[in-house]
Chains A and B, each alone.
Chain A
């Protein structure tokens, strides 16, 4: 296990850019593409846990898409009445929150056994979350290589010191979508941002540009449809749910790493596993087992509960639900607004420290 002592934090306001000096510092400290701690799991058992199956993901995807279409149709029928409001809230979460977990699992290629199904769900989730699918695949690979390593990880949701207003805006989806359009628009005219150029290999750049153009075209079609019918309804069904439906994805997403240690090579110190009920685990596709997911990304969402049981003796105790996690996250982020060196120290089982 590697950690950086608090005395090493010479710069209070850290530079999270992938092209800044912290990227060089991370390299010098041996934090780039490093060897991470893994809980011991016998190879035979690991092979069982890595097995793929189409059935759980097909079942969940059918339920998801049927609910999405049913609530979308109901929202259309109720358009113009206050009754449409609760229906749009549900539709929005199915689109702008569930789209996130499906994007994630499809991207790893583990949700389904059949490859094209993973690809299809990944692209659908990518559009729903306003994420250009090619560069985000590479961004997420970097997140797994260098998880919460400052200057390397492009997916650190809450940077220190905490900007409280920006943090609150994450629940509206505005910062995420604006940041994405700042990439999509240059991509459409054939340019990559400096950050994209840092993690996207040359062979993938034209694919990213094509995907960005397709995404923007769909947005243009939805906007055109709204103008033609003289109503925002088409955009409320395609496009805008990425904003008004994203709040729950942010609720889930902040539990993953917020407030925990940066620059450590042990996922138990920089990620959270949170117990959740069946509804949340369906919406979030078991990503509440986040330490386990980072430690063993080849294990599909449906096998994460079994993996959790396999390694639980080597893990810090999981948080008791979203409330249990936020009892820690909220005070930690408030404290980090004034003290960027502060982080929550997770208790790692002693037996492992001694081994």
Chain B
């Protein structure tokens, strides 16, 4: 299946070890850049209480929800313990010509 890539931002438009909110159509996503310049994308809302993860704290490959400190692995969306117990959906990411793009052609896997 051909992936439908959606342009998000410039590769340098997000700081290392940080997260960026990305709204597309009627959904919200979170784009991450790790300290070693890898990019990942997940659903944008915490599965525990529907809080925007883009206001949270990225440490290594972990995103921490800003409201209840629920933690997820940004590389695979896995919840890392209460109160986060349901995994996040994940989306393929690529960097091409200095732009970050994510594939939203299907429901996130996670």
Are A145 and B85 CB-contacts (below 8 A) given A33-B49, A50-B57, A298-B56?
A: no
**Of A50, A108, A204, A297, which one neighbours B85 at CB under 8 angstroms?**
A204
Interface hub of A145, A204, A298 (most chain B Cβ within 10 A)? A298
Which residues of A120-148 are within 8 A (CB) of B? Answer: 134, 137-138, 141, 144-145
Interface string of B30-50 (1 = CB under 8 A from A): 000000000000000000111
Chain A CB within 8 A of B109 CB:
no
Instruction: Check A296–B66 contact: CB distance below 8 A.
Output: yes
Interface assignment of B87: CB less than 8 Å from any CB of chain A: no
Q: Which residues of B contact A134 (CB under 8 A)?
A: 82
What are 29 A-B pairs at a CB distance below 8 A? A33-B49, A47-B15, A47-B18, A47-B57, A50-B57, A52-B59, A108-B69, A109-B71, A110-B69, A113-B59, A134-B82, A137-B82, A137-B83, A138-B82, A141-B48, A141-B68, A144-B67, A144-B68, A145-B49, A145-B67, A203-B85, A204-B82, A296-B66, A297-B66, A297-B67, A298-B56, A298-B57, A298-B64, A298-B69
Q: Which of B54-108 contact A (CB under 8 A)?
A: 56-57, 59, 64, 66-69, 71, 82-83, 85
Could you tell me the distance between the alpha carbons of A201 and B81 in the complex, rounded to whole angstroms? 13
Query: 6 closest A-B pairs (Cβ-Cβ)?
Result: A50-B57, A141-B83, A141-B68, A298-B57, A108-B69, A109-B69
Interface residues of A (CB under 8 A from B): 33, 47, 50, 52, 108-110, 113, 134, 137-138, 141, 144-145, 201, 203-204, 296-298
> Secondary structure of the A side of the interface?
helix
Q: Establish whether residues A138 and B83, one from each chain, have CB atoms under 8 Å apart when the complex forms.
A: yes
Count of chain B residues near A, Cβ 8 A: 17
- Please indicate the chain A residues that have their CB under 8 angstroms from the CB of B83 in the complex: 137-138, 141
Q: How many whole Å from B72's CB to the nearest CB in chain A?
A: 13
Smallest Cβ-Cβ distance to B84: which chain A residue: A141
Contact status A298-B49, CB under 8 Å: no
Closest to A296 in B: B66
Give the nearest-CB partner of A119 in chain B.
B81
Please indicate the chain B residues that have their CB under 8 angstroms from the CB of A137 in the complex: 82-83
Which of B15, B48, B68, B85 gathers most chain A CB within 10 Å? B68
Measured CB to CB, the nearest residue on chain A to B52 is A35
Q: Which residues of A contact B67 (CB under 8 A)?
A: 144-145, 297
In the assembled complex, the Cα of A298 lies from the Cα of B85 at a distance in Å of: 18
The minimal Cβ–Cβ distance linking B86 to chain A, given in whole angstroms, is: 9
The distance in angstroms between the C-alpha atoms of A297 and B56, with both chains bound, is: 10
**19 more CB-based (< 8 A) A-B contacts, given A144-B67, A297-B66, A297-B67:** A33-B49, A47-B15, A47-B57, A50-B57, A52-B59, A108-B69, A109-B69, A109-B71, A110-B69, A145-B68, A201-B85, A204-B82, A204-B85, A296-B66, A297-B68, A298-B56, A298-B57, A298-B66, A298-B69
By a CB distance below 8 angstroms, the chain B residues around A201 are 85
